[in-house]
Structure 1
Amino acid sequence: MSVKFDRKSAMRATLTQEKKSVDERFARADAVLTSHPSGLASSPITTPERTFSAESSAAQGRLIVSAKLECTHENPLNARCIYDPDVVKELAASIATRGQMVPASAVAHPSIQGHYLLIDGHYRKKAAAAAGLQTMDLVVRQSEGEIELYRLSWLLNEERSAQSPLDNAFAWRKLLDKGLVQNEGKIAELLGISAATVNKTLALLNLPTAALDKMRERPAKFGVFTGYELTLAAKKIEESALLDLVNKIIAEDLSSREVSAIRAKIESGSTRKRKETSRQYKVQNNGQHIGSLKEWDSGKVALEVILINPKDRAALVAELKARFCIMK
């Protein structure tokens, strides 16, 4: 027997577990970046770096600063686009009690002296503001350009708490629109994922705006395969029915397999030709059954009779020709 917890209980349990391992997971992600100080595309550099701070072993070799929130700008190519307000509240309470345990990653702002661009840490910035703090701790890295700004954001999120496919769809569309990648294949190559995953993810943006807005409320409910099944279903049903399906996925926590079964049923119903039932009338001549007259709701009418007498047959044919203005 399965027990369903309410949303707040489930969120609280998730955050509790998250807090237990947050330092470890941040350090693991940071360690990856430490081995690639010039960007993920380059080979690791073994030359010792100058140490600005020894606050944590993972942060060695990079400058840690306490920056004003107003001087800390969001990453324009952040991998995460959707933020859960409940998570912000929980994290704000934690920061207000314990302080900011892990610095956020940032680079110097390319056009504003003394300001910074976050690579990640947007949840922490929102939580710090909600907690009434004026500053946040940043690990300042060397900037490697726009595309690297996105890739580092994506990597850090993947190491800790991955963004949803809907986040990815919005972010990848931005990369394409800005010309930072030429096509879907380049996104797959950049991130080391399959081209099929990129294609299915971007297909989410073909859904109606109302459906996307509803999905933004609970993005974790819509994995790549569930989302793709929705895009297929959307081609066969009206928007209102699609919204009903989105709500059903959220309310009943449907798996991608269950959504696939619903979509297959929708497609089967839309492609199956409805069988028409005819109304039949017996045709008699002198008390003998000589044929039938059939009609359908579609408008089709069929007359089939057998007339042995040539004169009777000729008379009927002539009458039908006259009735329907049939010329030789």
Structure 2
Amino acid sequence: MKPSQFAKGFQARPDTTSSEKRTALDRLNAIDGLVQEKPKAREPVGRASQPEPVASTEEAAPPSTENESVEYRAWRIEHGYRPGQIIELPLKAIKPSPFNPRHFYLKASIAELAVNLAKQGQQQAIHVIPDYAAPGSYYVSDGGRRVRALKEANKEIVKAIVVDLPIGLESYKLGYDLNVQRDSQTVFDNAIVWKRFIDEKHFQSQRELADHLGLDESTVAVALSVAKLPEAIMHEMVVRPDRFGSNMAYQVGRYHGARGTDATLRLINRILADDLSTRQVADIVKGRAAPQESPKPAGRQRYAQRLEIKLDGVAVGDLKSYGDDRLELRLKGLTKDRRDALLHLIEEMLKAK
């Protein structure tokens, strides 16, 4: 397949370090550039299931885009589509990509976005790729969280830009780079997806995978080690990316290998409750410290509910409920004024009858 305009950036130059993010920005700007420079084309009328078709002749076709794929050109000629045009598609026609770099989507985050979409509507179009083998359906290239939130909000239509990108490792690399730029890619997403890539022989070794992503092999090795954890345990950690980065997740994985699931869940609770450092957890894993060495009752009670608290879109802590009569609020990173105001509000609420 001839490389597309969006995909050709992959051959432009390799990523050299895990911290280098220019490639992601370049590719995102390429898409945004098409949107900004698109001609004032007529969008489909009503809630049609497909972009409004035009006569499929070369004269009626939109002008050619350099290096576009044969499949994409045939699709856009059939539907009268211009690159970068925002159209409306039925939400039921959108499906997840098998090469989506994200695996975990937080329920609380999806619910929050769904409320916003219900009030304000969809403000940003998703990017989709036609499934040429199943006409009328599309893979999500960018916007999986928005798709889930739209479904949660019981929407039937999604605004989308149809991009020329093959479904495969190139599609994964673009999404991965963009998620790294947005700081939304977690070690747990990498663990699940990279293990599947190795299992399905997309890559023959972790070194080959690391080379493709421009990462150190040790980074891939840590993620594949984390992949041995049950997803139920990963779910307990993925909600707190501020506490469970690669190193902490790796230590939790080692502990699970030695102690099993129940003990690991108790360790995760203690990491959050006592704000343990990675070094402290490593000492517990090595047997240098007891998992319950602090003077707290054995068999710590698990919380019944947990609410993540954000300020200006950044997680600062959580509120947990235990049983019928106990609440535990843990926050950090607050300014003194915010902290004092919050303490005053709580004091006033407790005084109220």
- For Structure 1 versus Structure 2, the TM-score category normalised by the shorter chain is 0.5 to 0.7
Whether the aligned pair in 2 keeps the contact of 1:106 and 1:120 (CA below 8 Å) is yes
Kindly tell me the number of residue pairs found equivalent between the two proteins. Answer: 230
- For 1:95 and 1:267, locate their aligned partners in 2 and report how far apart those are by CA, in whole Å: 50
Q: Does the CA-based 8 Å contact 2:126-2:161 persist in structure 1?
A: yes
Deviation by residue 1:90-147 (Cα, 9 ceiling, x = unmatched): 1112212222222112211132112210012111011112222211112211123411
Distance 1:210 1:132 in 2: 27
Cα deviations by residue, 1:43-81 (Å, 9 ceiling, x for unpaired): 3999x97954579xxxx9523221111011111121111
Mapped partners of 1:123, 1:216: distance in 2: 15
Q: Deviations over 1:143-198 (max 9, x none)?
A: 23411121122122122242221111001112112222221112212222211011
Letter in 2 for 1:137: K
Whether the 8 Å contact between 1:107 and 1:140 is mirrored in structure 2 is yes
Q: In structure 1, what is the equivalent of residue 97 of structure 2? A: 75
Q: 1:84: Cα distance to partner?
A: 0.9
Q: Does 1:144 align with 2:163?
A: no
- Structure 2 residue corresponding to 1:153, chosen from 171, 175, 179: 175
Q: What SS is found at the alignment partner of 2:227? A: helix
Identity over aligned residues, as a percent? 27
| In structure 2, distance between residues paired with 1:214 and 1:39 | 39
Query: Separation in 1 of the partners of 2:265 and 2:171?
Result: 35
Cross-structure match for 2:112: 90
Where relative contact order (Cα < 8 A, 6+ residues apart) is larger, the structure is 2
The 2-side partners of 1:257 and 1:105 are apart by: 42
Question: Is 2:10 the counterpart of 1:41?
Answer: yes
Q: TM-score, normalised by structure 2?
A: 0.57
CA distance in 2, matches of 1:197, 1:180: 18
Q: Which amino acid is the alignment partner of residue 40 of structure 1?
A: G
TM-score, length-normalised on structure 1?
0.61
Structure 1 residues 258 and 120 mapped into 2: Cα distance closer, same or farther (>3 Å)? farther
Determine whether 1:245 maps to 2:214: no
Partner residue of 1:303?
Answer: none
Given residue 212 of structure 2, which amino acid in structure 1 is its aligned partner?
L
Of 70-79 and 91-100, the range deviating more from structure 2 = 91-100
Which residue does the alignment assign to 2:135?
Answer: 113
Relative to structure 1, is the Cα distance of residues 161 and 105 closer, same or farther in structure 2, using a 3 angstrom cutoff? farther
How far apart in 2 are the matches of 1:49 and 1:79?
24
For residue 119 of structure 1, give the secondary structure of its aligned residue in structure 2: strand
Task: State the one-letter code of the partner of 2:254.
Answer: L
Secondary structure of the structure 2 residue equivalent to 1:159: helix
Q: Is the contact made by 1:201 and 1:224 (CA closer than 8 Å) also made in structure 2?
A: yes
The answer to whether the Cα contact below 8 Å between 2:128 and 2:142 also exists between their aligned partners in 1 is yes
**Structure 1, residues 240-275: CA drift from partner, whole Å, max 9, x if none?**
3222112222334433233223223x1578xxxxxx
Match of 2:147 in 1: 125
- Match for residue 222 of structure 1? 244
**1:135 and 2:157 are equivalent in the alignment:** yes
Answer whether contact 2:101 2:190 (CA < 8 A) is retained. Answer: yes
- The correspondence of residues 1-328 of structure 1 with structure 2, limited to 5 A, is 37-43=6-12, 52=38, 61-208=83-230, 211-212=233-234, 214-215=236-237, 218=240, 221-264=243-286, 266=287
Map Cα deviations across residues 195-226 of structure 1 (whole Å, 9 max, x no partner). 10110111012235653454455565421100
Deviations 1:24-46 (A, max 9, x none): xxxxxxxxxxx962343223999
Distance across 2 between alignment mates of 1:239 and 1:87 = 26
**In structure 1, how many angstroms separate the alpha carbons of the residues matched to 2:144 and 2:113?**
11
| Residue in 2 that maps onto 1:318 | none
- Tell me the distance in 2 between the aligned counterparts of 1:182 and 1:36: 28
Is the Cα–Cα contact under 8 Å of residues 283 and 289 in structure 2 kept in the other structure?
no
CA contact (8 A) 2:6 2:165 kept: no
Q: Select between 117-126 and 184-193 the one with higher mean Cα deviation.
A: 184-193
